Amino acid sequence: MPIITCPDCGHHPVSDRAAACPKCGCPIAAPNVSSGSPNQAVAVPGQQDGSQAIAQLESIVKEAQRELLTSDQAEVVARRIADSKRTAFSSRDAFVETSVANRILVLGDEDVDILKSLDADQRLRIKALYALACDRLDGTMLGGLKGFRNLAVLDLSYSSGWTSTEMRIAFSRDVDLSVLQHLYLRRSRRVCSYGIMYWLKQATQLEGLYLDGSTNAELNDDLAGQVSSHLLRKHSLRTLSIQGCSQLASPLFLGAMQGVLERYPQLKMIGP
């Protein structure tokens, strides 16, 4: 029984005869159809265990989070997520039910309306929401985040992005992201510094803000001031990632951030 490393998440040891990786749910052993009819249906691990399928979706997202993807790469990841969901779940309701039970929601453009369909109890149970490369997400749709008061991780990377006006629309609808711990807005194409300030003002427990390559407006000293203000009030921020923003980080921003880093040594800035 050879021992291998999971090709998806790198977990070791895993038996090459295991149906799936015990850590991420990635299928390992090929289905054995030699003893049965050639037309016999072979069960997919995710169809037997919805929790395992959700764990696999989360693993795909976390793999994407480790790299700063191009638009093409992000679309490949989005298709992989969509294919995994179609394979693992017989219906949209089955996907929602399993997601709520596991507190993890992984959305694609084809099911973004799920945000509006969840009831109050379902919204309260979600801890992590990932919506990579979802161009249907805009300021109006973000109003659908109302009621997600336990949301600890929000990943809206590689989407079309939002202007500051659209962000204001979301928060004017009583969106409460005060317990948010990690916010990913990587390569979101229209997010601007001014709009990001709404997220910083709202999240009282924010530990990580990831803006890598995400904005077409300059990162300016106003944003640095808001980061400083957040740290002064809440002391929670530990990571500010701005990789790939070298063309957008103004000298005023970098100078101001240098002062912030000196005052708050707990903050780690990655990039530009």
pLDDT digits (tens, 9 = 90+) for 178-226: 899 999 989 877 777 777 777 788 888 999 999 888 777 778 788 888 8
Q: What are the pLDDT digits (tens) for 27-80?
A: 565 333 222 332 333 333 434 478 999 999 999 999 999 888 888 899 999 999
- Residue 154 — very low, low, confident or very high, per pLDDT cuts 50/70/90? very high
The answer to whether residue 18 scores a pLDDT higher than 90 is no
Q: Would you place residue 170 in the very low, low, confident or very high pLDDT band (cuts 50, 70, 90)?
A: low
- Which is nearest to 196 in space by CA: 205, 216, 105, 244? 216
Query: What is the per-residue pLDDT for 206?
Result: 92
* pLDDT recorded at residue 67: 87
51-to-16, 18, 21, 79, 261 alpha-carbon distances in Å:
21, 17, 13, 20, 41
Query: Does residue 271 have a pLDDT over 90?
Result: no
- Residue 203 near residue 171 (C-beta atoms within 8 A): no
Q: What would the pLDDT profile of 72-114 be if each residue is shown by its tens digit?
A: 899 999 999 999 999 999 899 999 999 999 999 999 988 888 9
Q: List the structure tokens of 19.
A: 């149906």
Give the predicted TM-score (pTM) of the model: 0.78
Cross-strand pairs, 15: 3
The predicted structure's pLDDT at residue 173:
65
* Domains defined along the chain, listed by start: 56-270 (3.80.10.10)
What would the mean pLDDT of 123-130 be, rounded to a whole number? 94
Residue 22: pLDDT above 50?
A: yes
| Position 141 pLDDT exceeds 80 | no
At 160 the pLDDT is 76
Quote the CA–CA distance of 15 and 87 in Å, as a whole number.
23
Average pLDDT of the segment spanning 4-32: 61
Decide which of 207 and 142 is more confident. 207
Contact 164, 198 (CB under 8 A): yes
Q: How far apart are CA 244 and CA 155, in angstroms?
A: 18
Q: How much is the pLDDT for 54?
A: 94
Q: Which two tokens stand for residue 198?
A: 């709404």
